Amino acid sequence: MAITSGAERGNANQNNNEGSLQVSGPEFICIGKIHRTHGIKGDVILDPMTDFPERIRRGRSVYAGDEHRPLTIARARQKPPYLLVGFKEIEDETAAAEFRNKFLYVKTSDLPELPEGEYYYHQLIGLDAVDQNGQRVGTLSEVLETGANDVYVIKKDDGAEELVPDVPQFIQKINIPGHKIEIIFPEWI
């Protein structure tokens, strides 16, 4: 049911413009990390952290670093497993060096629409977890990626944590506008 794009996992300890999951959601989502410069024309080596690397293309507006400095992609090409990216605002290796080890972001308003029943992690983290009777049990605090399916970490109101596989047997309904996820909690042997 869930899908990620970039590092949309959110963190409840961060402020809203850094990717936390307040009711309004984060303003920026990480799509990659700039590792180092490449060549003398200001290109950088980017480690994409998104399910949509094809969206890192010429003309796209992005934001670099914690200060979210606006940049426009001038060129991008594959250099597996990385991308080589150049920006209109960066003309040489010296200017590009200041972006070394910085994260690259896009605005959440620029994210592509997902098919019905698929969600970005930042939309899920922070949802109120309720049981099949509608009683609040806790908060979805984290999404773990596994090989078979995602696993939701539910921080219960009593302080305990419960791991719930993202499968229809346990995840009954996700209501993003209502800020709720209805769960049948597994009974572990």
Domain ranges of the chain: 16-110, 126-183
| pTM score, whole prediction | 0.71
Q: Cis link prior to 112 (omega < 30° from 0)?
A: no
CATH number 3.40.710.10 given to 126-183:
no
**Per-residue pLDDT tens for 115-157?**
988 999 999 999 999 999 999 999 999 999 888 899 999 999 9
* The token pair that represents 160 in the structure block: 């305990």
CB 46 within 8 A of CB 55: no
**Per-residue pLDDT tens for 153-187?**
999 999 999 999 999 999 999 999 999 999 998 88
Q: What is the mean pLDDT of the chain?
A: 86
Give the CATH superfamily of 16-110: RimM (2.40.30.60)
**Per-residue pLDDT tens for 92-125?**
999 999 999 999 999 998 888 889 889 999 999 9
Fold matches, 16-110 and 126-183: no
* The token pair that represents 71 in the structure block: 């940049």
Q: Half-sphere exposure of residue 146, counting CA atoms within 13 Å on the CB side? A: 14
* The token pair that represents 123 in the structure block: 């939309």
For residue 2, pLDDT over 60 is answered with: no
Distance from C-alpha of 45 to C-alpha of 62, rounded to nearest angstrom: 15
List, edge to edge, every strand of the sheet that includes 180-183: 161-165, 151-156, 136-144, 128-130, 180-183, 171-175
Closest CA to 81 of 49, 37, 105: 49
| DSSP track, 133-145 | TS-EEEEEEEEE-
> Does an H or E element contain 123, and which?
helix 121-124
